[in-house]
Amino acid sequence: MKLTNIILKGEQIDLTLITIEDIERYFEAGFKECDEDINYYTGTDDEFTKEMVENFVCKIVNDETRYDFLILDKSNNLLGEVVLNEIEEDSRNSNFRINLFKSSLCGNGYGTQAINLIIKFAFEVLHLHRVELEVYSFNTRAQKAYCKAGFIKEGLKRDGKLINGSYFDVIIMSILESDYKSNKQNFL
């Protein structure tokens, strides 16, 4: 059964699960006027209508294989999202992704704090064994943040993504429960 009404509190930010009531501000903050740099680093080339975003949120809020958190600053401004999805209860594995909606938000520690909060939630609350992600080879900032949080590079999809006519490698990274436990002090 999916946990609800979760708030993960950090020093600069809080993470709250997305709800139907968040659709309007979620669309306004992240999809109405997309940041070109963010789209590039996340490999996003789609445009999203309000109806598409509304349908997506309605689909995911009760999906027991995922936890979609909004990243909020202490003034309740919506900065982005951080997600554990494709959760497999039997193997205790999950996929992870994060997205700050504006490039001006990068470099302020929001992403690092969101990663740490969600990883702590993954291992201490959901009792996952493994969390993995994919990151593009040119996104060195994200790679550094993931390494800092304890993710280990473990694989490569050569020329795994076509962006603007060029192929880029996709790096596979993961963090295991044992990695988290050995560096737990970094997540407090």
According to the model, what pLDDT value does residue 187 have? Answer: 64
Q: Please state, in angstroms and rounded to a whole number, the distance separating the CA atoms of residues 23 and 53.
A: 7
**pLDDT-derived band of residue 188, with 50, 70 and 90 as boundaries?**
low
Residue 41 reports pLDDT greater than 80? no
Which pLDDT score is estimated for 5?
A: 86
pLDDT surpassing 80 at residue 84: yes
The model carries a pTM of 0.92
Bridge-partner residues for 97, per DSSP? 83
* Mean pLDDT over the full length of the chain: 91
**Which of these, 73, 41, 68, lies nearest to 146 by C-alpha position?**
41
pLDDT tier for residue 33 given thresholds of 50, 70 and 90: confident
Please state the separation of Cα 138 from the chain's center in Å: 18
- Report, as an integer, the average pLDDT of 160-187: 90
Q: Give the ranges where 31-159 is alpha helix by DSSP (H).
A: 36-42, 50-60, 110-120, 140-148
Domains identified in the chain and CATH numbers = 7-187 (3.40.630.30)
